[in-house]
Amino acid sequence: MRVLVTGGAGYIGSVICSRLQSHGHEVWVYDDLSRGHRAAVPSGAALVQGDIRDGRRLGAAIAEHGCDAVIHMAALTEVAESVAEPELYADVNVAGTETVIRTCRSAGVQRLVFSSSAAVYGEPAGMPIVEEAPLAPTHPYGESKLAGERALAAAAEDGGLAFAALRYFNACGADSERGEDHEPESHLIPLALRAVREGQHLKVYGGDYPTPDGTCVRDYVHVIDLAEAHIAALERLPETSGAYNLGTGDGDSVLEVLAAVEMVTGTAVPHTMAPRRAGDPPALVAAHDRATRLLGWRPQRHLAQAVADAWAWMRANPQGYED
């Protein structure tokens, strides 16, 4: 297939592009490079610089390059930023996704894989989280992803567009050429690795949660496994439209992540305890049975490998992407 990846210059999107190529698909990227990196785009993948809210430019690009399917990754993803600027998230994530959907339908594109998030669940009562759990996001970022899912479901009901909404838990790790390079960085593993490298203390938010060691528990899924899930979903559409959790089914606490970083680097992570952050649930762990059953997907990589891969990329690219 000829696949357009919006946000394909970003962390997860660029790994998806690379894996698509390895599966024999032809790839091109649509990205405004506001938070992605030109250097992350795999060689052989054409890059069109543009905003997803610009339907005319996106439509012209699809007409010029041709497109059998879209993987829609482009979005703003910072929870704190979404709380401070909810209108921005409504504009980029919600209105932008609606523009992508309209443009796909106008161009006759019939398959769309959507980057959603476990944030659509809010603070669920039970673990592991199943797709049928109540959808009750607690911040504008989660609300924007749920709005995107609903827009896709409405388009599918009208006919002509099959979709898979993939609800990520905590993406982590790297491949040999692509890793995390965000500014500011908010993800635990790269922050812990930076703390080791630079000797700065990492803040651990909350040590009194109802978890085995008192710190938050999250489901860390390797970025390569995430990429493979997108390809599995894409290749099985339209028969398997719907929402899917992407996680390992196992949770690791903040302190367990720091222990994994110490094991990989040989250095203890300097850290200090800080008060809880508002809106942080004690635990978020995915049930991925639906993805296994319908997509044939199962995560293959564990936390220690993700940490090792992220560390290898960071050591090979100490300044991140230089573009």
The catalytic site residues sit at 141
- H-run or E-run covering 312: helix 303-316
Contacts of 126 (CB under 8 A, 6+ apart): 133
Q: What whole-number distance in Å separates Cα of residue 160 and Cα of residue 323?
A: 39
**Residues found in the chain:** 323
Listed in order, strand segments (DSSP E) in the chain are 2-6, 26-31, 46-49, 69-72, 111-117, 162-168, 170-172, 202-205, 217-218, 220-222, 242-246, 252-253, 271-274, 283-284
**Residue 245: which residues within 8 A CB-CB, separation 6 or more?**
118, 129, 130, 131, 167, 169, 286, 287, 288, 290, 291
Spatial neighbors of 94 by CB under 8 A, at least 6 apart, are: 144, 147, 148, 151
User: Token match 């762990």: residue?
Assistant: 285
Please give the torsion angle defined by the CA atoms of residues 78, 83, 87 and 91, in that order, rounded to the nearest 10 degrees.
Answer: 20
- Asked if 239 contacts 190 with a C-beta cutoff of 8 angstroms, the reply is no
Q: Cα(first)–Cα(last) distance of the chain, in Å?
A: 29
Query: 294 with 236: CB under 8 angstroms?
Result: yes
Q: How many CB atoms lie within 10 A of CB 201?
A: 10
Cis preceding linkage at 275, omega within 30: no
